[in-house]
Amino acid sequence: MQTPIQTCFMRGGTSRGPFFDAADLPADVATRDRVLLAVMGSPNSRQIDGLGGAHPLTSKAGIAARSGRSGVDLEFLFAQLQAESDLVDTTQNCGNMLAAAVPFALEAGLVEARGETSTFRVLTLNTGMLCDIAVRTPDGRVDYAGDTHIDGVPGTGAPVTINFLDTAGSVCGAMLPTGNVRDVIDGIEVTCIDNGMPLVLLRAADVGRSGRESVAALNADTELKDRVEHLRIACGRAMGLGDVSARNYPKMTLVSPPQAGGNVGTRCFIPHVCHDAIGVLAAVTVGTACVLEGSVTQGIATLPPGRVKTISVEHPGGEFSIELELDKRAPNKVARAALVRTARLIMRGEVMVPKTVWDGAR
């Protein structure tokens, strides 16, 4: 007495989860969310009765559909779930899961290959952001093998190139939602910024930390986590997001001087657990803060010369390089952000949900 649903279980960047054709899920949002909770096994600390991995990075799902909009090939909806919560959050983007959207669409027959390399314009339904995603498709099939390595993922794979077209104000409606490059909130200097992901940046030194602590040490640091959460709630209100206590954003990012040849050091909370690396759009947003005169990264980040800058964001698992192109007319404004991820199909088949959750009728 279960309902089968076609799925591909995929890794995108440093995240993973099940991907679905929107046509295979309930049209009603409330029913769809109950299905996703059942698929992942939430709420349960181990997600023992589903596909979730008991961690925010492995409690994610992707939903794709052919687009009927002019100039758009694919529409993608990202869903963030949590182990111990029944919340399904579709208000934010995830650049890592986005990296698997086109490979999934090709696997599912939602789009067709366009030569040796296929580029598709993708609309993220979460925030209305557009991007061009290119994947290798020799012989009309997705190529997952290659020599591209990204920190946080073992081995190498084929590159997935993402060119973001309009990331500013993805959730907050403005890149600087408080109207300032730097604010003092709850006694701490912060930069509240949204260039793909709402972030609050603060100097690690301002909360008595070096920014070089291990993930385990930061996750065990209850004093710091309480302080950061108090600040996050205050910043959420200042950013026009209202009460963010039950939301996954804004993310909180400690910045510090680079230690391994990069341009800036980071420790990112997502929002209550320290990230083993850093999210795609969080890295874009951190890089954007680095080029803004007066942000809290000033005096910490080192910047390369030129209008097109490759910025290496250091994180606990290594580094994440992004390419930012500054606007010719406004040197402090980012005109384009591009980066490379990898993705892999891990499993395809059917995931089962109890008929009491959904009987299969759309």
CATH number, domain at 331? 3.10.310.10
CA 104 to each of CA 41, 101, 210: distance values in angstroms, whole numbers, following the listed order: 22, 5, 40
pLDDT confidence of residue 73 = 98
**Confidence band, pLDDT 50/70/90 cuts, at residue 306:** confident
61, amino acid identity: A
In 3D, which of 38, 45, 48, 47 has the Cα closest to residue 5? 38
Instruction: Confirm whether 284 is domain-assigned.
Output: yes
User: 144 lies in which domain range?
Assistant: 2-159+343-354
pLDDT digits (tens, 9 = 90+) for 242-301: 999 999 999 999 999 999 999 999 999 999 999 999 999 999 999 999 999 999 999 999
**Confidence band, pLDDT 50/70/90 cuts, at residue 333:** confident
Domain count, the chain: 2
Rounded Cα distance between 144 and 160, Å, is 9
pLDDT confidence of residue 166 = 80
**Confidence band, pLDDT 50/70/90 cuts, at residue 182:** very high
In 3D, which of 96, 10, 13 has the Cα closest to residue 51? 10
pLDDT confidence of residue 167 = 86
| Region for 349 from its dihedrals, namely left if φ exceeds 0, alpha if ψ lies in -120 to 50, beta otherwise | left
Give the Cα-Cα-Cα angle 126, 289, 279 (nearest 5 degrees).
45
Same domain, 119 and 210: no
Same domain, 302 and 192: yes
Same domain, 109 and 209: no
Mean pLDDT along residues 90-101? 95
In 3D, which of 179, 176, 174, 221 has the Cα closest to residue 200? 176
Instruction: Record the pTM.
Output: 0.82
Give me the residue label for tokens 């997935």. Answer: 160
Same domain, 51 and 105: yes
Mean pLDDT along residues 126-154? 95
- Looking only at the bridges linking them, the beta strands covering 198-203 and 251-256 are parallel
Same domain, 231 and 150: no
Instruction: Confirm whether 173 is domain-assigned.
Output: no
In 3D, which of 104, 98, 11 has the Cα closest to residue 58? 11
**Confidence band, pLDDT 50/70/90 cuts, at residue 331:** low
Same domain, 141 and 27: yes
The one-character DSSP state at 332 is T
Instruction: Confirm whether 65 is domain-assigned.
Output: yes
Q: Which runs of consecutive H residues, i.e. helices, occur in 195-270?
A: 215-219, 222-238
**Over pLDDT 90: what percentage of the chain?**
90
Same domain, 108 and 222: no
Same domain, 150 and 226: no
Instruction: Confirm whether 40 is domain-assigned.
Output: yes
pLDDT confidence of residue 327 = 81
pLDDT confidence of residue 165 = 85
Instruction: Confirm whether 329 is domain-assigned.
Output: yes
Same domain, 128 and 233: no
The Cβ of residue 214 has, within 10 Å, a number of other Cβ atoms equal to: 11
The one-character DSSP state at 82 is -
Q: Which runs of consecutive H residues, i.e. helices, occur in the chain?
A: 29-40, 95-98, 101-108, 215-219, 222-238, 280-291
**Confidence band, pLDDT 50/70/90 cuts, at residue 330:** confident
Beta bridge partner(s), residue 254: 202, 267
pLDDT confidence of residue 39 = 98
Residue 285's contacts (CB-CB under 8 Å, 6 or more residues apart) are 167, 193, 194, 195, 196, 197, 198, 199
Give the Cα-Cα-Cα angle 34, 35, 36 (nearest 5 degrees).
90
Instruction: Confirm whether 143 is domain-assigned.
Output: yes
pLDDT confidence of residue 232 = 98
Same domain, 13 and 131: yes
Give the rounded distance of the alpha carbon of 106 from its chain centre: 21
Same domain, 192 and 332: yes
Instruction: Confirm whether 359 is domain-assigned.
Output: no
In 3D, which of 245, 266, 359, 249 has the Cα closest to residue 311? 266
Instruction: Confirm whether 189 is domain-assigned.
Output: yes
Are 323 and 337 spatial neighbours (Cβ–Cβ below 8 Å)? yes
Are 225 and 307 spatial neighbours (Cβ–Cβ below 8 Å)? no
Rounded Cα distance between 171 and 164, Å, is 15
Residue 330, classed as helix, strand or coil, is: coil
Same domain, 196 and 333: yes
